[in-house]
Structure 1
Amino acid sequence: MKVLVTELMWEDGINELKRQGCRVDYDQELGRRRDELLELAPHYDALIVRNETQVDSVLLDAAKHAQVIGRLGVGLDNIDLKAAEVRNKPVIAAKHANATSVAEYVIAAMLDAYRPLIEADADVRKGRWDRRFFTGFELNKRTLGLVGMGEIAQRVATRAKALGMDVIGYDPFVTPYDHIVAETGVRPVETLDTLLQESDFVSVHVPLTRATKHMIHKANLPLMKRHAYIINSARGGIVQEQDLMEAVKREQVAGAYLDVLEQEPVPSDSPLAQIEAIRLSPHIAGLTDEAQSRTAMLVAREVINVLHGRESLCAVV
């Protein structure tokens, strides 16, 4: 069996594929070389991708012998699921493998917003000792608003609660008896507007769909507290970036932590990069060593299950 890996995959997973008898061709830049990928695709029994490779009907038709598509992550906006289903090609996602890492990123962002230790370190190294300027705030008793209340949001809530935060959530698909409400103490609110109005931090945890694209925009950003921050570790495009920049410039919100952007990588001349209150990171919320090892191993084993005719618990379609 031949497996083509088109983007970054931790060595653990590649070795697992080989251990199970697969021939693995690995090129972590191949997803960006579309024509070459289309030429190679017909020769493989499985494709493993991350978020840059566009798995559309053209690629799925080219990969005529592929029995399964593995996704190194949980976001599926780069994969045409309907086209895969019609062609009877199961899509495997790394269910919950990086959830803890993303949750810790959110906590790190909130701590950085209120206790900017890197800036304090730089200031001291310049010979200053401005204790009043670097007097921060406590997360204790602050309100965290979760947009979406799935697995990652649950892990964020547990950690935020441990810091003494009040946690609210907006998700029209969550019932009062779901775990995040019944067991973690998250208080659900009925509308996104209510969540934005009440929160000191707003953390986004929804997939990018037609319904969620630009769901945070110029009409509802002014509802937020002037000292509030937005944290987006989900997908670029959920927060309207131009509107966010304008809101920060007008001091309608304090700032944002954006790990995901509508255009990735972000251009060096992007206006986003010119606003200090908007902190950018290169899509790394789930990119810890532990999470990537789990992701690679999970996808490798589940792809092998499908290739051997077994069911996968991680199949999306």
Structure 2
Amino acid sequence: MSTVALDKVKTIKTLNNIAERGLNVFNNENFTINNDSENPDAIVLRSFNMHAMEFGDNLKAIARAGAGTNNIPVDKCTEQGIVVFNTPGANANAVKEMVLTTLMASSRNLFAGIAWTKTLEGEGDQVPKLVEAGKKQFVGKEIKGKTLGVIGLGAIGALVANDALDLDMDVIGFDPFISVDTAWNLSRNVQRAMTIEELFANSDYITVHVPLTDDTRGMFNQETFGIMKEGVHILNFSRGELVNEDDMAVALENGKVGKYITDFPNENTLKMKNTVSIPHLGASTNESEENCAVMAARQVKDFLETGNIKNSVNFPNASLPYTGKRRVAVFHKNVPNMVGQITQAISSYHLNIADMVNRSRGEYAYTMVDIDNEVNGDIIPGLSEKIAQINGIVTSRVI
């Protein structure tokens, strides 16, 4: 367990090149960016692998400027009371555009056609005749009137579904965990699949936008291919491990899968028939990198200054309007009577509670308590230490 007072200049460390717009969020007297710091208040990164790192006792937050957090030891951070943020939706438009681009290009055999045309270099005046003679091998199909299945209707999936409707496609969506916010943004013309098998059976094209979990690993496999239409196109801009690559190779060879578009190339995908291997470009736009950096920085800044949490992958989201009065923020085990013990410790200092919030996530919970009294000085002497003595407290700080 640890106790922290936050009324000092906060040190931010970056482990990758972070867009300047994001760093500018910390451009005030309350923050300093120091990439040589051994014990910063927060770390902002993109793809740097943190699994071998040791964390100082001052580290309170890690923000990934992107959606995935596989490069961060999330479980270790949780045990040490370090909040881990990501930036869902910040790169959604970039990925959506790539999905729709490759959807159309692969349907028209554009990638294979361009590669073939390059082989005609050196044929001189014969190139136009060779093109006319050879183009028939690349005859494609239009996407208008075809059915697109969208697995996962989060920030990216919802955008893909809505725009595909505007391209005159029929759209089937499957997401048993769809959020209220996403449901509001999703067109009513998106058909709802009650099971993923229903989506598999009725889609000409399938795009997947779900995280990698034990349940989704290898979800595209021999069994599920057997449910799909002959010649289905599959687009994977989520995680390579969602696909059983041995089964995919067989399905491509026998024509069950017509095309496989993946943003996660490896030695296997490079050998597969009718596969377009993209060098992980889904979110690689200047706009996306800036959006992710700004979102990550703002979440870190808000957490360090107010204790509020949004888009954490290991802490519960929690928010209280910040009035500038003292706030006690406590991360603790999710067990009975924790809130009672915390408020009792506060009351023992003859402090009135103005407002509070408690949110839980699995085995852990997060409590913020606003103090009504005017408190002079940097901290309430001894309060964090007293709270830290409660069994089950992970971290405690007074803001």
Q: Pick one of 46, 49, 53 that aligns with 2:45.
A: 49
The secondary structure found in structure 2 opposite 1:169 is: strand
CA deviations on 1:218-255 (whole Å, 9 max, x unpaired) are 22113222221111111121111221112112222112
Q: Pick one of 140, 161, 175 that aligns with 2:144.
A: 140
Q: Pick one of 208, 230, 253 that aligns with 2:257.
A: 253
Q: Is the 8 A contact 1:41 1:62 kept in 2?
A: no
Shift of 1:10: 2.3
Structure 2 counterparts to residues 35-114 of structure 1, below 5 A: 42-55=38-51, 59=53, 62-114=55-107
Q: Is the 8 A contact 1:67 1:306 kept in 2?
A: no
Match in the other structure for 1:158: 162
The answer to whether the aligner puts 1:116 opposite 2:109 as a matched pair is yes
CA deviations on 1:142-165 (whole Å, 9 max, x unpaired) are 111111122211100011001011
Q: Is the 8 A contact 2:14 2:44 kept in 1?
A: yes
Shift of 1:123: 4.8
The answer to whether the aligner puts 1:295 opposite 2:292 as a matched pair is yes
Residues 277 and 63 of structure 1, relative CA distance in 2, 3 Å threshold: farther
Q: Is the 8 A contact 1:260 1:283 kept in 2?
A: yes
Q: Which stretches in structure 1 are left out of the alignment for 5+ residues?
A: 26-39
Identity %: 27
Q: Is the 8 A contact 1:204 1:234 kept in 2?
A: yes
Normalising by structure 1, we get a TM-score of 0.82
Shift of 1:14: 2.9
CA deviations on 1:116-175 (whole Å, 9 max, x unpaired) are 345445555621233433432111111111111222111000110010111112222249
The answer to whether the aligner puts 1:14 opposite 2:16 as a matched pair is no
Q: Which amino acid aligns with 2:105?
A: D
Match in the other structure for 1:31: none
The secondary structure found in structure 1 opposite 2:241 is: coil
The secondary structure found in structure 2 opposite 1:245 is: helix
Q: Which stretches in structure 2 are left out of the alignment for 5+ residues?
A: 1-9, 121-126, 316-399
Match in the other structure for 1:23: 33
Question: How far apart are the structure 2 equivalents of 1:175 and 1:50?
Answer: 26
Q: Is the 8 A contact 1:48 1:71 kept in 2?
A: yes
Question: How far apart are the structure 2 equivalents of 1:95 and 1:199?
Answer: 27
Match in the other structure for 1:34: none
Computing the radius of gyration from Cα coordinates, the structure with the larger value is 2
Structure number having the greater strand percentage: 2
Residues 16 and 234 of structure 1, relative CA distance in 2, 3 Å threshold: same
Q: Is the 8 A contact 2:146 2:170 kept in 1?
A: yes
Q: Which amino acid aligns with 2:244?
A: Q
Q: Which amino acid aligns with 1:286?
A: A
CA deviations on 1:256-277 (whole Å, 9 max, x unpaired) are 111136xxxx3xxx13212241
The secondary structure found in structure 2 opposite 1:129 is: helix
Question: How far apart are the structure 2 equivalents of 1:180 and 1:276?
Answer: 40
Q: Is the 8 A contact 1:53 1:78 kept in 2?
A: yes
Shift of 1:203: 0.6
Aligned CA-pair RMSD: 2.7
Q: Is the 8 A contact 2:236 2:262 kept in 1?
A: yes
Q: Which amino acid aligns with 1:242?
A: D
